[in-house]
Amino acid sequence: MTDETLQTETLDSTEDERTFCAVHPERETALRCNNCGRYMCSQCAVKMPVGYRCRECVRQQQDVYYTATTVDYVVGGVAAAVCSIGANFLGEILPPFLMLLLAVGVGGFIPQIVNPVVKRRRGRYMGLAVAAGIALGALPIVAPRLGWALAGAPLTILLWPLLFNIVMISVAYGWFRRGPSI
């Protein structure tokens, strides 16, 4: 066999071997994860400093940094709820504009309280646990107002406490999603 026929046979065999994404089997691809070798389409590929990796390998790599347990999520949520109760009662005595400024401050303060309480263990879903805790802490203020609004009181009675808590939740959740700024 000559080198020319060997090259022709190799080209013919690679044209017949079509590869498909492991997650989306209908998508043809030639891209492989540089960690596990799994085929992936451009939607599944995650650009890393060392090349492209599949989402499963990236998730496994990130899991090393998440050490929070179920107890940490509960403790973080309870700590956020306690802070939220205090902030909601304080927000009741402030004018609406100052209430929203307080919401931004408290939303940034709650993660500073939760972090040491859970011994700085990070969790993939800690932001959601804190958001749920803030929402639960808002119930003593928001629930009666919701009842009044349903009974015929103007909806503005519910507007400012809802905005207050939405801002507080957004700031706290954003802190956990991006981490602290250094």
Tens-binned pLDDT, residue by residue, of the chain (182 aa): 444 443 434 444 455 688 999 999 999 999 999 989 999 998 989 898 888 999 888 888 877 788 889 999 999 999 999 999 999 999 889 888 899 899 999 999 999 999 999 998 988 899 999 999 999 999 999 999 999 989 988 888 888 899 999 999 999 999 988 755 44
Residue 49: both structure tokens together: 């400093």
* Distant-in-sequence, close-in-space partners of 111: CB < 8 Å, separation ≥ 6: 130, 172, 175, 176, 180
Report domain extents, the chain. Answer: 3-62, 70-178
pTM: 0.71
Distance CA 80, CA 169 (A): 10
